[in-house]
């Protein structure tokens, strides 16, 4: 037995575990042989050449812009990134040439070529109806004229986004490093190295489990550079994609691997450091796959300077992926001629001789030579094509420069979407029930505890919409660390709820990918402390894509995380970090303080089309309230007046609400009437209810279990002071945890967290 885990028990007999070979540079054919065998058509070869020309022309335009040498727009001063991919044209053109319009890609900050190529080949595959739907302004055109107009529009919108124009793909909000086109499956370039890899992995999860047959057969092509493959979340994603549970017949009825092709665009430099011979210890980056999959993810090394070699490798990779044998990993060995950006002269870490040797196999000029030498095309055909591409780019560039800039008054437009899931598409209304429905226990008064209230809300939403999936560490068989999801596996099956590796960044990143491709994941991080492990995928990915795409994509996902303050778990399991995510525009933050609100808020969160950080107080899990069995919702941004009063306002959330009620009762004995307001969501925040209360009472105390310094209570102090100054009879004060690290000792933790006495003292100080 080769596995450590076996139903038959341990087996420690001596053995040798062997790694399988990884092939390299297997393609070695003449173009005319591919034509003869029918592996490629003559017009497809010309398309490959044109696509590489389009990419090269675009990239050289950026280069010339810096010196004013791009004649048609020499009056334009370009401000923005200059991460050129000149030399890498074969990787993007060869890969995208075999993808369907609906197949997905993700890309990198050096991703202009990937974006251009995905759009180029998608447009080439469109019929006239599809071309006119993409560009209704060309409805009166037809044939080649229509095709050329749509192609120029693609180049124009790409340049416009690079230039930060309203006509760009992201309306100038994202720029070239975040370029996308969801209409043709381009999920976005990513300025965070490796940031798009878990997103691509999540998109492939959607493709794998999607019950809508129209979406079956899609693949995801994930482009990332050599530098990314030393990055933690990238390695997490490879491990994630290769999980046995995706193909283990004992665990799943969807017995297929993830349909994803990881393309390592190895241009030999992360920024200035070399992967080979310097910052890694392997002879090829394809070797990474051996650490995660017994089949090496079908890994191979491909000549990334030869567009035909890349194309042939992708044909085989796509076949593997669509037949359920993914994931697949390809290392495309290529080269970038310029530095990390144009401010990098590159002469400090490589030689001109090295560059010249690579230019001998330049993907564009070497391919052109082959086409002529093998008699595939004549010189005049190639000359005409080159002229057309140059003129198209020049026209698009001039059009982009002359187009409108975004209106400054719209600077934060598209930060959030105001949409929710009001109607479930018919394909997702049918639920495949695997077993008995979990029962939610109510006492004789109809009360349910906080834990089961959240569970009931999730259960109802999973029954309503098959796109709602739940995953995280230990949430399946075991029901999660706090047993909140117990019973959901038996009811919905492992296609809807499943365990994950201990990979918080990948849990959130794959959730982003699923959300961007139509699903509504509910992911669990167990403890809020672990959100710091996933902070990039939450703060740079989930939070920003709706804005950076000018509202073109929604990220409807819920990130559940519990807060353990008060249980003696110490500094790495007890932090209340909700204030951190209030500082990240693009996410909502909900924090129910009781079971009734917990059910209503989790249902609202799941139906909302924005990413939601859903914070759960562990000290509240056992608290009971009357929770109706019928459906109800708690609107975001609508505070709850827990108790009415006239002398002082407490603004308080989470477990601190329980203590605030106790404090208010004590103060009542002294003749101080306290009004308690629970905002329920910190983002969006119900300022109006708070302001109205403070204008009535004249005093305010902001309370939470967050460490006092930097807490969102400070924002409450600032806003109340600014908006209620004339009504205040005393300064606004705040109460929070000590400015330190949560201790484990009971005596110390009791002193660390805000107490009833602290709240009483704060109110007394306002006399």
Is 609 inside any structural domain?
yes
pLDDT at 475 over 50: yes
Pair (92, 230) in one structural domain: yes
**Beta partners for 181?**
186
The domain boundary, picked from 600, 626, 652, lies at 626
Sheet with 520-527: list strands edge to edge: 497-499, 468-472, 520-527, 558-563, 612-617, 588-590, 681-683
Pair (286, 325) in one structural domain: yes
**Beta partners for 678?**
640
pLDDT in tens, 610-627: 999 999 999 999 999 999
Catalytic position from the list 50, 456, 504, 616: 504
Which domain CATH number covers 743? 3.40.50.920
pLDDT at 253 over 80: no
Pair (168, 225) in one structural domain: yes
pLDDT in tens, 36-67: 999 999 999 999 999 999 999 999 999 999 88
pLDDT at 2 over 60: no
The domain boundary, picked from 574, 599, 626, lies at 626
What average pLDDT does the segment 359-377 reach?
A: 97
- pLDDT for the residue numbered 3: 56
Is 174 inside any structural domain?
yes
Catalytic position from the list 109, 154, 340, 573: 573
pLDDT at 249 over 90: no
Pair (60, 90) in one structural domain: yes
Which two three-digit tokens encode residue 471? 């995953």
Is 704 inside any structural domain?
yes
Domain that holds residue 245: 23-404
Pair (553, 686) in one structural domain: no
Is 679 inside any structural domain?
yes
Spatial CB neighbours of 318, under 8 Å, sequence gap ≥ 6: 98, 99, 219, 261
Pair (620, 645) in one structural domain: no
pLDDT in tens, 723-765: 999 999 999 999 999 999 999 999 999 999 999 999 999 999 9
pLDDT at 428 over 70: yes
b (16+ CB within 10 A) / e for 328-353: bbbbbbbbbbbbbebebebeeeeeee
746 in Cβ contact with 725 (< 8 Å): no
Is 158 inside any structural domain?
yes
257 in Cβ contact with 246 (< 8 Å): yes
Give the rounded percent of residues in the chain with a pLDDT score beyond 70. Answer: 98
Which domain CATH number covers 439? 3.40.50.970
Pair (570, 665) in one structural domain: no
pLDDT at 252 over 90: no
- pLDDT for the residue numbered 567: 86
pLDDT at 299 over 50: yes
pLDDT at 159 over 50: yes
Burial degree of 16 (CB within 10 A; 0-12, 13-18, 19+): exposed
Pair (379, 330) in one structural domain: yes
pTM higher than 0.75 for the full model?
yes
pLDDT in tens, 111-156: 999 999 999 999 999 999 999 999 999 999 999 999 999 999 999 9
Q: Mean pLDDT score of the chain, rounded to an integer?
A: 95
pLDDT at 360 over 80: yes
pLDDT in tens, 77-118: 998 889 999 999 999 999 999 999 999 999 999 999 999 999
- pLDDT for the residue numbered 1: 39
Pair (105, 212) in one structural domain: yes
Q: Which of 67-76, 212-221, 525-534, 653-662 has the lowest mean pLDDT?
A: 212-221
Which two three-digit tokens encode residue 69? 């040498």
Total tally of structural domains belonging to the chain:
3
The domain boundary, picked from 340, 373, 404, lies at 404
Pair (685, 594) in one structural domain: no
Band of pLDDT at residue 641, cut at 50, 70 and 90: very high
Distances (CA, A) of 109 to 175, 550, 699: 10, 18, 50
pLDDT at 689 over 80: yes
Pair (175, 283) in one structural domain: yes
250 in Cβ contact with 300 (< 8 Å): no
Asked if 573 is an active-site residue, the reply is yes
Is 94 inside any structural domain?
yes
Is 9 inside any structural domain?
no
Pair (399, 457) in one structural domain: no
Which two three-digit tokens encode residue 152? 């120029």
Asked if 59 is an active-site residue, the reply is no
Is 416 inside any structural domain?
no
Band of pLDDT at residue 214, cut at 50, 70 and 90: low
Alpha carbons 725 and 579: distance in angstroms, whole number? 24
């Amino acid at each position: 037995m080769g596995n450590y885990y076996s139903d038959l028990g341990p087996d420690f007999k001596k053995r040798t575990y062997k790694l399988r070979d990884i092939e390299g540079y297997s393609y070695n054919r003449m173009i005319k042989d591919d034509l003869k065998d029918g592996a490629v058509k003559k017009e497809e070869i010309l398309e490959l050449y044109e696509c590489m020309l389009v990419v090269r022309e675009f990239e050289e335009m950026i280069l010339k812009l810096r010196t004013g040498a791009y004649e048609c727009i020499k009056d334009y001063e370009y401000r923005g990134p200059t991460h050129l991919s000149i030399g890498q044209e074969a990787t993007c053109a060869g890969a995208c040439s075999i993808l369907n319009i609906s197949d997905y890609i993700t890309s990198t900050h050096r991703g202009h070529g990937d974006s251009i190529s995905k759009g180029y080949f998608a447009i080439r595959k469109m019929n006239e109806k599809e071309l006119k739907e993409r560009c209704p302004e060309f409805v009166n055109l037809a044939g080649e004229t229509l095709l050329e107009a749509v192609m120029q529009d693609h180049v124009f919108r790409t340049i416009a986004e690079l230039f930060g124009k309203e006509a760009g793909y992201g309306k100038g909000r994202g720029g070239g490093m975040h370029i996308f086109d969801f209409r043709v499956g381009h999920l976005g370039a990513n300025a965070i190295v490796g940031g798009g890899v878990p997103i691509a992995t999540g998109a492939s999860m959607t493709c794998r489990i999607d019950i809508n047959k129209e979406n079956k057969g899609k693949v995801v092509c994930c482009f990332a550079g050599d530098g990314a493959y030393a990055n933690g979340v990238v390695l997490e994603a490879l491990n994630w994609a290769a999980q046995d549970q995706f193909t283990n017949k004992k665990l799943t009825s969807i017995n297929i691997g993830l349909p994803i092709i990881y393309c390592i665009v190895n241009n030999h430099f992360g920024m200035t450091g070399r992967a080979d011979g310097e910052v890694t210890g392997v002879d090829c980056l394809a070797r990474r796959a051996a650490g995660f999959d017994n089949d090496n993810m079908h890994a191979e090394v491909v000549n990334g300077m030869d567009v035909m070699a890349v194309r042939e490798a992708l044909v085989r990779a796509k076949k593997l992926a669509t037949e359920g044998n993914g994931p697949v990993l390809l290392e495309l060995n290529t080269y970038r001629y310029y530095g990390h950006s144009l401010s990098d002269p590159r002469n400090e870490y490589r030689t001109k001789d090295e560059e010249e040797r690579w230019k001998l196999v330049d993907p564009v000029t070497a391919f052109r030579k082959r086409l002529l030498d093998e008699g595939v095309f004549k010189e005049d055909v190639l000359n005409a094509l080159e002229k057309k591409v140059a003129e198209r780019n020049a026209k698009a560039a001039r059009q982009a420069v002359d187009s409108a800039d975004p209106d400054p008054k719209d600077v934060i437009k598209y930060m959030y979407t105001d949409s929710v899931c009001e109607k479930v598409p018919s394909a997702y209304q049918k639920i495949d029930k695997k077993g008995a429905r979990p029962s939610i226990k109510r006492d004789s008064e109809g009360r349910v505890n906080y834990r089961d209230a959240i569970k009931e809300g999730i259960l109802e939403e999973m029954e309503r919409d098959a796109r709602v999936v739940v995953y995280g560490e230990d949430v399946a068989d075991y029901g999660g660390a706090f047993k909140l999801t117990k019973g959901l596996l038996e009811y919905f099956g492992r296609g809807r709820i499943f365990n994950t590796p201990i990979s918080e960044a990948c849990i959130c990143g794959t959730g982003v990918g699923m959300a961007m491709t139509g699903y509504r994941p509910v992911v669990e991080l167990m403890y809020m402390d672990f959100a710091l492990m996933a902070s990039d995928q939450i703060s740079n990915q989930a939070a920003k894509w709706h804005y950076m795409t000018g509202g073109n994509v929604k990220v409807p996902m819920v990130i559940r995380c519990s807060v353990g303050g008060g249980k003696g778990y110490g500094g790495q399991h007890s932090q209340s970090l909700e204030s951190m995510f209030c500082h990240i525009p693009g996410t909502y933050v909900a924090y129910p303080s009781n079971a009734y609100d917990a059910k209503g808020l989790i249902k609202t969160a799941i139906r909302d089309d924005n990413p939601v950080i859903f914070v759960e107080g562990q000290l509240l899990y056992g608290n009971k309230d009357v929770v109706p069995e019928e459906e109800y919702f708690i609107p975001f941004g609508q505070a709850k007046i827990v108790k009415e009063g006239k002398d002082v306002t407490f603004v308080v959330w989470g477990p601190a609400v329980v203590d605030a009620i106790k404090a208010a009762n004590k103060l009542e004995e002294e003749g101080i009437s306290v009004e308690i307001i629970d905002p329920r969501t910190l983002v969006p925040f119900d300022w109006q209810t708070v302001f109205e209360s403070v204008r009535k009472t004249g005093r305010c105390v902001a309370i939470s279990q967050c460490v006092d310094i930097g807490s969102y209570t400070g924002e409450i102090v600032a806003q109340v002071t600014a908006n209620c100054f004339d009504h205040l009879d005393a300064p606004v004060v705040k109460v929070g945890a000590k400015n330190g690290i949560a201790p484990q000792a009971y005596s110390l933790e009791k002193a660390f967290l805000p107490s009833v006495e602290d709240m009483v003292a704060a109110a007394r100080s306002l006399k």
